[in-house]
Structure 1
Amino acid sequence: MGKTYFVTGTDTDAGKTVVTCGLLEAARLERLTTIALKPVSAGCHQSEDGLRNDDALALMEAMTLSLSYEQVNPVAFEPAIAPHIAAEEAGVRMTLDRLTGYCRGALMNKHDLALIEGAGGWRVPLNSREMITGLAKALNTPVILVVGMKLGCISHALLTVEAILRDGVKLAGWVANQMDPEMDRYKENLQTLKNNIPAPCLGVVPFI
């Protein structure tokens, strides 16, 4: 089996899917076989085939292996709210064991690179006791952090890094995603992050 990474962000809409798709494309250009998973999604639309999430569909288009939608995104909720609240409203109990099982099943497909995209930021509850980040620990996967570059990103990024390391998970690297083309002192903020995050900057994504 190949390498597996868990992709998290400093916040919701930090650019996890954009970065994940970019990494998948880079791997494809290197002729690597890739898998991408979005174990939990909240913010789905109804389709003829059931609930579908745009981020999960983008991952399916970017990866090289062909998996069913249910393998890529096994737990999907319609409202764009915190997943554990969506689960409560839908009468569904999410557990870390169940999500870990879904991921392990999908990862049995032979691959060179697998990327597992989280939901929101690092501290996102699954239920009253468990966080989705327990998935990275259960699967023993290093983390790639996507930093949404905007005012306040330094604190968000450093607190997230601190939490990742405290949880005993390896931080493989981070990616800066420019969310605001008019961000004041962008280069200075970027350099501050490079100086303070104890992991390599894997890339900088310009404003798209």
Structure 2
Amino acid sequence: MPAYFVTGTDTDAGKTLATAGLLALARRQGLTTLGLKPVASGCRRTSAGLRNDDALALQSRSEPAVPYAVVNPFAFAPAIAPHLAARRDGRVVTLTALESHVEPLLEGLQELILIEGAGGWRVPLNDSEDLSGLALRLELPVILVVGLKLGCISHARLTAEAIQADGLRLAGWIGNLLDAGFATDTTLYEENLDTLERTLPGPCLGILPRLDAVDEQIRPESAATCLVLPDDD
């Protein structure tokens, strides 16, 4: 079944919104889905244990339903880089541990599996490994979420170049409007999007508008209307 690794040009680029939106779109099309957030920092303490809002958004759009621990096996409270959050907790997360958790899930019956990373492509997992190494080990195509703001063209192109340099395919990219002012000049905004379309080595899977006024629970459903699923070919 198609499985993809979702990364972003930066922290808060909109990875979860895009990932949950794609899962919601797949569900509308009658597909079975699984969303994974293997490592999450910035988790809340609850009676059931540490819970991350991004991971919960993916869990709620996974069908058939799965336990939280399947979606997010490594959860940390501090809202900081994963390797630093793990260090504060006296733990070390390794690619081998992530691979052991995720690889068997890829053999399931879901028709779309999305694995959301943390931060950008080069975010460290520990002192010697990057989280993107999971995509390399599993040979997953990558979906890039581009935070649309000043400087996004360079950020997007550098990330795409790093993905390709690591030997992986960019299955597509999604633009997420972070700065409403960025789109004030319509002509300039369209020229930025045109540059991204011409220079990124993968198709555009959609452009997400600012959704601040939309309730947090239904934002991915609204995002789904702006997206297309990647082509597994």
Please give the range of the TM-score, normalised by the shorter of the 2 chains: over 0.9
> Which residue of structure 2 aligns with residue 192 of structure 1?
195
Compare 165-174 and 100-109 and name the one that shifted more.
Answer: 100-109
* 1:182 alignment partner, SS class: helix
Distance 1:138 1:57 in 2: 25
Residues 1:205 and 2:204 aligned together: no
| 1:68 CA drift (Å) | 0.9
> Which residue of structure 2 aligns with residue 157 of structure 1?
156
Distance 1:76 1:191 in 2: 38
| 1:140 CA drift (Å) | 1.1
Which amino acid is 1:199 matched to? G
Distance 1:31 1:6 in 2: 21
> Which residue of structure 2 aligns with residue 14 of structure 1?
13
Distance 2:46 2:189 in 1: 40
| 1:104 CA drift (Å) | 1.6
> Which residue of structure 1 aligns with residue 65 of structure 2?
66
Which amino acid is 1:7 matched to? V
Residues 1:144 and 2:147 aligned together: no
Distance 1:69 1:38 in 2: 10
Percentage identity across paired residues of the two chains: 57
> Which residue of structure 2 aligns with residue 176 of structure 1?
175
| 1:180 CA drift (Å) | 1.3
Does the Cα contact within 8 Å between 1:72 and 1:106 map onto a contact in 2?
A: no
Distance 1:126 1:117 in 2: 14
Distance 1:65 1:14 in 2: 28
Does the Cα contact within 8 Å between 1:123 and 1:132 map onto a contact in 2?
A: yes
> Which residue of structure 2 aligns with residue 29 of structure 1?
28
Moved over 6 A (4+): none
Distance 2:42 2:112 in 1: 26
> Which residue of structure 2 aligns with residue 76 of structure 1?
75
Which amino acid is 2:141 matched to? P
Compare 106-115 and 10-19 and name the one that shifted more.
Answer: 106-115
> Which residue of structure 2 aligns with residue 5 of structure 1?
4
Distance 2:62 2:192 in 1: 32
> Which residue of structure 2 aligns with residue 57 of structure 1?
56
| 1:166 CA drift (Å) | 0.4
* 1:92 alignment partner, SS class: coil
Once superposed, what is the RMSD of the aligned Cα atoms?
A: 0.9
1:118-133 to structure 2, matched below 5 A, reads 118-133=117-132
Distance 1:178 1:72 in 2: 27
Number of aligned pairs?
207
| 1:109 CA drift (Å) | 2.8
* 2:120 alignment partner, SS class: coil
Q: List alignment gaps of at least 5 residues for structure 2.
A: 212-233
Distance 1:67 1:153 in 2: 35
Which amino acid is 1:95 matched to? T
